[in-house]
Every structure is written in C-alpha cells, then in structure tokens.
Amino acid sequence: MFVLRGVYAPIPTPFVQGEISFEKLKSNIRYWAGTDLEGLVVLGSNGEAPLLDFKEKTALISHVREYLPENKKVIAGTGCESARETLKLSKAAADEGADAVLVINPNYYKSEMKDENLKAFYIEVAEKSQLPVILYNMPRNTGVNLSSELVVDLSYHQNIIGIKDSSGNIAQMSEIAAFSKQGFVLFAGSASFLLPSLLMGATGGTLAAANIAPGACCEIIRLFNTGDFEGARKMQQQILPVNKAVTSGFGVAGLKAAMDMLGLYGGEPRLPLLPLTQEKRVRLREILINAQVLKEG
C-alpha cells in the first residue's frame, strides 16, 4: 500500500523547440534517481500541466515511470476543471503505473466553488479513481482556498489519503493535521514552510526547490526526525531565498533557468510563460551561489 511521506520533486517539463523532449527528461531523472527523494510529481504546477494536452500528459506519466527506478514513487497531477476529465486522466495515470494522483481543485467558476461543489467534485473523483487521491490546495494560482473544515471532512473518505497544501497558511495546516482522520497525510506544498509543517504534523512535502536542492530538503526532514531542531532551522533558513527564487519570485521560468545553471536541463517554458530575462538570471545566479546550491565560477 502506498504511503505518502518524504520529499517529492514536482518536476518541470523539458521542451526543446516547443515539444517535450523525453531524452532531456530521461537525463534529468537520472539525476533525481540518485538522490534521497521519495519520488517525483509529474504534471504539477511546475510541470506546466495546464499548458499540456491529454496525449502529452499521458506520455509524460508513462516515461517518468519508465525512467525512474522502481523504488521511487510517481505521483501524477490529474486535476482538471471537470470531474469527468480528471477521472479520464486519473485512469490513464493508473494505466501508466503512477502510485497516486494529485488533484487540484477546479477554479474557473470561482464564485461557484462553494464547499458543497468542491466536496461533490472530490467525492466523485475519489469514488471512481483507481489510485489514491491527494488533495492539492494552491490558492495563489486558483484563487480558491480549500478550507480546513472541507479538508477534514474529505479526509474521512477512504480513497483520499492526504493533501498537498501550498497555501503557506500554517494555522490552516495545523488544523488539518489536528482534526483530520488518523492516517490522513499533510504534505507541505513549498520548501519555504517545510520545517514548521513537520512540527505541526506533516510527514513530508512536494517542493519545487527539491528539483535543484534535493539534499537540503531531505536533510531538513532528517534533522527534524533526529530532534536536531537547531540544525533543521538553519537548513530551513538557508533554503528560503532559493525557494522564493524558483517559486513566487521568478516562477517556472526561474526554476528552469536554475536547472540549466546546475547542469540539468531546464529550457524554456511554453507561452504564455516567458523565459527569464538576462537581468533576472544574474540575480538568480547570485541567490544560488549565496545559498551554496551553485558553486561560484
């Protein structure tokens, strides 16, 4: 049975001349496979999932599973605006060998996304998905927040096993950890609040920064588990500027540029995302060097 824990990297999708390059994907995965990452998330926000079509999505899940050693897990982002499409993609994820699905809430019809709508959506998906369902709360992108009351309620469905919360609202995350069903997993959605999340009951996280600094992310958990809170805090503080740069600071284009600097393949994002400007690259490099993620020179 699948257990959600440890650090996952929500991997970017490598494009060469606008098309997915499975070769680049393979070589990136070779790097991640050699780290302490528990697994990879394919088709997350960092994977530009909203910019891919169904066929590309399915092919990505398939290739990630193929390239990644069996001891590493694969979570597929399958949330779409309709329950119907979400289920279709979740079925494909199951067929391609993913371990679980990560389902962002629908959000286009914002003012109608009441708790009852979101509940009906998630129950429908959980009922019919072969794979265990992980909720995904990302209000900065969706403009909708999954309240702790809703999440606690949904935690009692047997096929909903956890939540990736990217809100950064630690009170909300604490409520989820405290009041959800025994065994329901809280996962930090960003490295910027990994340590406080662990303290309040999270068991790991899906962290953009884990793409480029998997060691540091895993080390925070290790130090926390061994009771070295001072060391964990130092590591957490060190990762803050790096994490900001590759998330809210410079976005997916920033994450991709950082990967390029580190010898992985990042490349360019798809329109409407734009490649990082030269000026921002200079600032990004400085941040990476200061945090010792990148060696000077």
Angle at 250 between CA 5 and CA 198, to 5 degrees: 25
Pick the closer one to its own copies by CB: 22 or 179: 179
The nearer residue to its own copies, 39 or 266, going by C-beta atoms, is: 266
| Residue 76 zone, left/alpha/beta (φ > 0; ψ -120 to 50; rest) | beta
Q: Binding its own copies by CB under 8 A: which of 5, 21, 35, 51?
A: 51
Is 164 marked active-site? yes
The catalytically annotated residue of 114, 164, 244, 295 is 164
Is residue 143 within the footprint of its own copies (CB under 8 A)?
Answer: yes
* Cβ-based burial of 112 (10 A; exposed 0-12, middle 13-18, buried ≥19): exposed
Q: Is 283 in the site for its own copies (CB under 8 A)?
A: no
| Pairing of the two strands 19-20 and 15-16 | antiparallel
Compute the chain's Rg from CA coordinates. Answer: 18
How remote is the C-alpha of 166 from its chain's centroid? Answer: 9
Maximum Cα–Cα distance for the chain, whole Å? Answer: 55
Give the separation between CA 125 and CA 133, rounded to whole angstroms: 8
The C-alpha atoms of residue 294 and residue 212 are separated, in whole angstroms, by 9
- β-strands 100-104, 73-77 pairing: parallel
By beta-carbon proximity to its own copies, the closer residue of 27 and 222 is 222
Let me know: does 37 contact 9? Beta carbons within 8 Å. yes
Position among 3, 59, 152, 240 found at the interface with its own copies (CB under 8 A): 240
Interface positions, 150-209, toward its own copies (CB under 8 A): 168-172, 174-175, 177-178, 190, 192-193, 195-197, 199-201
* Residue 129 is a binding residue for its own copies (CB under 8 A): no
In angstroms, give the least distance from the CB of 70 to its own copies.
Answer: 32
Residues 68-127 interacting with its own copies (rule: CB under 8 A): 81-85, 88, 105-106, 108-113, 116-118, 120-121, 124
Chain positions contacting its own copies, by CB under 8 A: 18, 45, 50-54, 81-85, 88, 105-106, 108-113, 116-118, 120-121, 124, 140-143, 168-172, 174-175, 177-178, 190, 192-193, 195-197, 199-201, 229, 233, 236-237, 240, 244, 248, 251-253, 270-274
Catalytic residue ranges: 164
